[in-house]
Amino acid sequence: MQNLNEDTITQAVIAQIADTPDPRLKRILTSLVQHLHGFAREVALSEDEWLAAIQFLTRTGHMCNDKRQEFILLSDTLGLSTLTMAMNNRKPPGCTESTVFGPFHVENAPVFALGADVANGAKGEPCFVSGVIRGIGGEPLPHARIEVWQADEDGYYDVQYAGLDQHQGRGVLFADQDGRYHFRSIVAEPYPIPHDGPVGDMLRATARHPWRPAHLHFMIKREGYQTLITHVFRGGGTYLDSDAVFGVRSTLIADWVRHEPGQAPDGTRMEIPFYTLEYDFVLNPAAGSSRGGRA
């Protein structure tokens, strides 16, 4: 492997990984080397540009911690997250569509009873959310696990606040025996993704904005069905057609209905205006499952 040049280096690298024991890893690395080298040749990558890319990725890594994942933001804003999600979540018509996971999910979110206020002190106008979890055959899915999370009215998730000693705007609930769910939260508002790091630099360099349309995150799990990771987007809002992370699906847009002060769906007497959101979810049977009546 002496005297390698721009015409021979790619095959030399591929030859070095030819004995990779894991066939899937071998395929991925081989393709990565071919495309990466092909990209460098196509754009005639300079040494200064190569170094700038290394520095960009280094800065991206330095921005990552237990509350922020800059690499997920980078993947989201380059469309890679949506591409990967779409390829791995093909579903029959009628199922609720998946969309990007986002960088602000946390493990071990608090568990709430149905009807509880998952905002838990987060700032925002009150909103009452309800719906039904069903399978593709129309069957209700009792006791489905529902995890929700969202930003507050200022556009921040709880994990973005320093010193906050409790989770806000997120929680886990379980549907009732008829697959129904309901909880109280706050109205979703548009917000910018964090843009004070390298991803923000990239957005500015490409004349892009960092904004996401208003949405509420859901992750729904039920034995025998594929896990659903999705958003519900607030209809009529800004940025639905220019989401910074390419996550909007028209089937996931719903109306947040405004109500004047009065009795809320849970019987609470509201002295201020409030909103309601109704949205049903349809899960796809897991591979090999006999559940569901329609394809």
Alpha carbon distance 235, 279 (integer Å): 12
Alpha carbon distance 95, 285 (integer Å): 10
Mean pLDDT for 81-87 is 94
For residue 291, pLDDT over 70 is answered with no
Residue 14 identity (one-letter amino acid): I
How confident is the model at residue 1, as a pLDDT? Answer: 73
Mean pLDDT for 87-104 is 92
Mean pLDDT for 262-288 is 94
Residues forming beta bridges with residue 274, ordered by sequence position? 259
pLDDT bracket for residue 237 (50, 70, 90): confident
How confident is the model at residue 238, as a pLDDT? Answer: 86
How confident is the model at residue 81, as a pLDDT? Answer: 94
Mean pLDDT for 77-86 is 95
DSSP-derived 3-state class of residue 262: strand
Tokens of 138: 């129309």
pLDDT in tens, 28-66: 999 999 999 999 999 999 999 999 999 999 999 999 988
- The rounded mean pLDDT for the chain is 94
Place of tokens 């010193």: 163
Three-point CA angle 68, 70, 76, nearest 5°: 115
pLDDT in tens, 123-169: 999 999 999 999 999 999 999 999 999 999 999 999 888 888 899 99
How confident is the model at residue 103, as a pLDDT? Answer: 83
How confident is the model at residue 288, as a pLDDT? Answer: 61
DSSP-derived 3-state class of residue 47: helix
DSSP-derived 3-state class of residue 6: coil
How confident is the model at residue 289, as a pLDDT? Answer: 58
Alpha carbon distance 114, 101 (integer Å): 24
How confident is the model at residue 45, as a pLDDT? Answer: 98
For residue 294, pLDDT over 70 is answered with no
Contacts of range 230-235, beta carbons closer than 8 Å, 24 or more positions apart = 230/96, 230/97, 230/98, 230/99, 230/281, 231/99, 231/100, 232/277, 232/279, 234/187, 234/188
The closest of 23, 41, 22 to 33, measured between CA atoms, is 41
Tokens of 244: 């910074």
For residue 242, pLDDT over 70 is answered with yes
Alpha carbon distance 64, 130 (integer Å): 35
Alpha carbon distance 119, 128 (integer Å): 11
Alpha carbon distance 272, 268 (integer Å): 11
**Count of beta carbons in the 10 Å neighbourhood of residue 7:** 8
For residue 295, pLDDT over 50 is answered with no
How confident is the model at residue 293, as a pLDDT? Answer: 36
For residue 290, pLDDT over 70 is answered with no
Mean pLDDT for 1-18 is 94
Q: Are 58 and 70 in contact (CB under 8 A)?
A: no
How confident is the model at residue 162, as a pLDDT? Answer: 86
Share of the chain above pLDDT 70, in %: 97
Written as one string, the DSSP assignment of 133-195 is EEETTS-B-TT-EEEEE---TTS--GGGSTT--S--SEEEEE--TTSEEEEEEE----EEPP-
Q: What is the Cβ-side half-sphere exposure of residue 152, based on CA atoms within 13 angstroms? A: 17
pTM here is: 0.90
